[in-house]
């Protein structure tokens, strides 16, 4: 086993809201679809003597949608802290943090939402996995009905 060059060193929940939807029919299949999931992330490089430390701000939101058989509406806002090992190639740092940082935090968020819904009337919800990888030569595809995501702004300095 080898230690990964990026480590999620800590995280916390800023806010969480979970609502059981009264019109959900447990006898019918759920309409869980990653396209309906609103996910925004922001990566910010830390100030000071630690240029390889970043904070990741992540919001995951699913609203009640007409015509969709969804068990819950929810919004989870989290902040995580990423540390990159010294010597990591500088030309790969930005992309590695913007892809892997939110991905690691998203895994924790999935478990938090699963736990928060576990005692709900429709049982635990496991949101679909997603990727934060963006092709270097093509902009990320976006659902025209979705709100524009916040841009990753790793060049900004965190206080």
DSSP calls for 70-101:
-SEEEEEEEEEEEEE-TT--HHHHHHHHHHHH
Which residues have a Cβ under 8 Å from the Cβ of 128 and sit 6 or more positions away? 32, 33, 34, 37
Query: What is d(CA 106, CA 125) in angstroms, rounded to the nearest whole number?
Result: 14
Residue range 138-159: mean pLDDT, rounded: 39
Average pLDDT for the chain: 85
Rounding to the nearest 10 degrees, give the CA dihedral for residues 138, 129, 108, 2: -70
140 pLDDT band, cuts 50/70/90, is very low
Q: Are strands 157-158 and 38-46 parallel, antiparallel or unpaired?
A: parallel
Q: Which of 31-35, 111-115, 147-151 has the highest mean pLDDT?
A: 111-115
The contacts of residue 145 (CB under 8 Å, 6+ apart) are: none
Q: Give the whole-angstrom CA distance, residue 114 versus residue 91.
A: 37
Q: Is the pLDDT of residue 84 over 50?
A: yes
Query: Domain 6-129, CATH 2.60.15.10 — does that match?
Result: no
Q: Which helix (H) or strand (E) holds 11?
A: strand 6-20
pLDDT tens, residue by residue, 6-57: 999 999 999 999 999 999 999 999 887 778 899 999 999 987 677 789 999 9
CA–CA gap between residue 12 and residue 157 (Å, rounded): 20
pTM reported for the whole predicted model: 0.81
């Amino acid at each position: 086993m080898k230690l990964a060059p990026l480590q999620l060193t800590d995280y916390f929940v800023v806010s969480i809201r979970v609502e059981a939807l009264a019109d959900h029919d447990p006898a019918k299949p759920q309409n869980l679809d990653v396209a309906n999931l609103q996910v925004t992330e922001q990566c910010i490089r830390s100030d000071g003597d630690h240029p390889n430390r970043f904070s990741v701000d992540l919001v995951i939101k699913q609203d009640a949608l007409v015509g969709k058989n969804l068990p819950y509406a929810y919004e989870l806002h989290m902040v995580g802290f990423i540390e990159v090992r010294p010597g990591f190639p500088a030309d790969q740092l930005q992309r590695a943090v913007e892809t892997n940082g939110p991905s690691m935090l998203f895994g924790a968020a999935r478990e938090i939402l699963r736990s928060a819904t576990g005692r709900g009337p429709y049982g635990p919800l496991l949101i679909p996995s997603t990727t934060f990888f963006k092709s270097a030569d093509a902009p990320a595809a976006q659902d025209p009905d979705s709100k524009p995501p916040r841009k990753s702004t790793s060049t900004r300095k965190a206080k």
